[in-house]
Amino acid sequence: MYVSFLTRLLDVGIEHIQNIIMDMAKLSERSVFASIESYERGTSIIKKQIFEWSENLRLMQEEVSDLSIELIARYQPVATDLRFIRSCMEIAYGFSRFGRYSYDIVDVLETMGSISNCDKSYVLEMSNTVREMILLSINALQSRDKNAAQKLYQMDNTVDALYRRYVHEIINPQEQQSISKEFLDKTLRCYISALLILRYLERISDHACYIGDSVYYIATGTSSPRR
Amino acid sequence: MSIGKKEIGNISHPISYSYNDNNATTERYKLIIRNLFAWFGIKQVLKNINLDIKSHIATAIIGPSGCGKTTLIRCINRMHEMIPDARAKGSVNLDGVDIYDKAVDPVTIKRRIGMVFQKPNPFPTMSIYDNVAAGLKLNGIRDKKLIDDIVRESLESAALWEEVKSELNKPGIGLSGGQQQRLCIARALAMQPEILLMDEPTSALDPIASSKIEELIHSLKKDLTIITVTHNMQQAARVSDYTAFMYLGELVEYGPTKQIFENPRNELTERYISGKFG
């Protein structure tokens, strides 16, 4: 019997979704990194640009959803194709959230004003881990690396621990500070801005983990083992 | 809808014997196929099929043309051997009894295992009523009321009664394609089979008629075990609880339909159901 390996109509749609997803990956990575750099420099001039990127990511997420539904309705995909399409909807959401949180980070800078004298060590430490996680999740997506999920969860544990440590520190100050209005004003601004940004980074970390889960599901057809 | 269990005279079903194979229990499986081979002359078409069919579910058999799907179901009701030069070897255990045992009457097997074919084939010279009653009369049933009751119940079970109840004396071939196929199903159901084999039952029908047959399969499996051969992957996914994928006379993969269509274990299965070959 002759067995021919056909090019399917479905493949055109799948390739299109794949391309959008990879474009979203690059854009969301750029967006998060730019927002972290803004924090490092203490400037929010890039806010308008990041907002545009965030909006683009949202529109691309909608495009992925629409295309996915169309492929399911038209071609009734099964097996790996179906898992891939379903996962792309979840992954697209994750990348759109990256964009949104990037905007939120820059918005904090604008709202809080100058933070040039604030201690940025926690944010910078967490942002380094989050950057690695973003790159790892994108690489996992490209290479369908099902083992990435486990690594991402380990890194997420580090992020969570750092967040909890910071929260603990600010609600249990170690030194007796003289409470001047000026000092209080500055401290509050630093604490609140850092807390908010750490929270957004922690959420980005969670979504990177979810992307790892989706890659695991595409590759194996089963849910990622619980951490 | 369920088929009323009527006493139908001389037709009796064999007593279930205890099954002495170690690999399956009769309580869970209606049909257990072991080491089944089949040939047309010297051409081998089935190669060592091992399959356990559970009771009261719908099982779909899928695979490319020529893979042995129809031959398999024809071996299940001993129709295969009716073809000149065709033979089969192996065991097909129905409720613990090997239907290929010399002591088993093939006619009895064909009563217990009904079959519906791809092209609707009502008896052309008979009315709707007579089509359904034919099998009963051939088996010596004479009680008119009993026959009336069984005809009505069978047509109800085949979801055809409401459409034909006022014209039972009209010719069966006067019905639409979909109605004819449901008439054939009613004819099979009149014999109160335990298993219903369906060989591409909707391939000759339009989408609406096909949809009615699929709904019928869903309702019938409360009372019967159904095995359906289909080329339509989406249909197999819709109607069946279990799916068997065959290729070149062999059983490649068998499992719950959800697992087969979401996460098949065998790469060949994945390629076939994804339309990458066929």
> Each residue of B35-66: pLDDT tens digit?
999 999 999 999 999 999 999 999 999 999 99
Q: Which of B66, B274, B278 lies at the smallest CB-CB distance from A78?
A: B274
Residues of B numbered 56-75 whose beta carbons fall under 8 angstroms of chain A's beta carbons: which are they? 64, 66
Q: Which of B64, B263, B278 lies at the smallest CB-CB distance from A79?
A: B263
Average pLDDT across chain A, whole number: 90
Contact B263 A83 (CB under 8 A): yes
State yes or no: pLDDT of A116 exceeds 90. no
Q: What mean pLDDT do residues A204-213 have?
A: 96
Question: Given this model, what pLDDT does residue A174 score?
Answer: 61
* Residue whose token pair is 């255990």: B93
**Residue A86, min C-alpha distance to chain B (Å):** 11
* Residue whose token pair is 């990458």: B276
Contact A82 B234 (CB under 8 A): no
Q: What mean pLDDT do residues B16-24 have?
A: 36
Contact A78 B233 (CB under 8 A): yes
Band of pLDDT at residue B20, cut at 50, 70 and 90: very low
The enclosing H or E element of B253 equals: strand B250-256
Measured on CA atoms in the order B121, B125, B129, B133, is the torsion positive or negative? negative
Q: Which of A79, A220, A221 lies at the smallest CB-CB distance from B274?
A: A79
Band of pLDDT at residue B6, cut at 50, 70 and 90: very low
Question: Given this model, what pLDDT does residue A177 score?
Answer: 53
Q: How far is CA B15 from CA A65, B12, B97, B143, B196, in A?
A: 57, 9, 9, 25, 19
How many beta carbons lie within 10 A of that of residue A222, not counting itself? 11
Q: What mean pLDDT do residues B182-194 have?
A: 96
Question: Given this model, what pLDDT does residue A179 score?
Answer: 55
Q: What CA–CA distance (Å, rounded) separates A117 from A193?
A: 12
Average pLDDT across chain B, whole number: 89
B82 in contact with chain A, both atoms CB, cutoff 8 A: no
Contact B64 A1 (CB under 8 A): yes
**Residue B274, min C-alpha distance to chain A (Å):** 6
Burial zone of A77 (CB within 10 Å; 0-12 exposed, 13-18 middle, 19+ buried): buried
State yes or no: pLDDT of B4 exceeds 50. no
B97 and B17 Cβ atoms separated by less than 8 Å: yes
- Residues of chain B with Cβ-Cβ distance to A1 below 8 Å are 64, 66, 248
**Residue B139, min C-alpha distance to chain A (Å):** 44
Closest CA to B198 of B51, B59, B95, B32: B59
Band of pLDDT at residue A189, cut at 50, 70 and 90: confident
Q: What mean pLDDT do residues B222-248 have?
A: 95
State yes or no: pLDDT of A224 exceeds 90. no
pTM over 0.90: no
Q: Which of B64, B234, B261 lies at the smallest CB-CB distance from A79?
A: B261
pLDDT cut 70: percent of chain A above it: 90
State yes or no: pLDDT of A113 exceeds 90. no
- Residues of chain A with Cβ-Cβ distance to B263 below 8 Å are 79, 83, 220-222
Of all residues in chain A, the one with the smallest CA distance to B262 is A79
Task: Tell me the Cα Rg of chain B.
Answer: 19
According to DSSP, the β-strands at B113-116 and B58-62 are unpaired
- Residues of chain B with Cβ-Cβ distance to A78 below 8 Å are 233, 237, 261-262, 273-274
Residue to mutate among A3, A14, A146, with most B CBs inside 10 A, is A3
State yes or no: pLDDT of A9 exceeds 70. yes
State yes or no: pLDDT of B133 exceeds 60. yes
A132 and A155 Cβ atoms separated by less than 8 Å: yes
Q: What CA–CA distance (Å, rounded) separates A44 from A115?
A: 11
- What ipTM was estimated for this complex? 0.74
Work out how many CB contacts closer than 8 A connect A with B: 43
Q: What CA–CA distance (Å, rounded) separates A142 from A134?
A: 13
Q: How far is CA B179 from CA B97, B126, B156, B162, B219, in A?
A: 35, 15, 12, 11, 17
Residues of B numbered 182-211 whose beta carbons fall under 8 angstroms of chain A's beta carbons: which are they? none
Q: Which of A10, A80, A220 lies at the smallest CB-CB distance from B270?
A: A80
All residues at 6 or more sequence positions from B128 whose CB lies less than 8 Å from its CB, including other chains: B122, B155, B164, B167, B168, B169, B170, B171, B172, B175, B183
Band of pLDDT at residue B9, cut at 50, 70 and 90: very low
Contact B66 A222 (CB under 8 A): no
- Return the structure tokens found at B223: 């009372």
Paired with B113 in beta bridges are B195
Residue to mutate among B65, B235, B277, with most A CBs inside 10 A, is B277
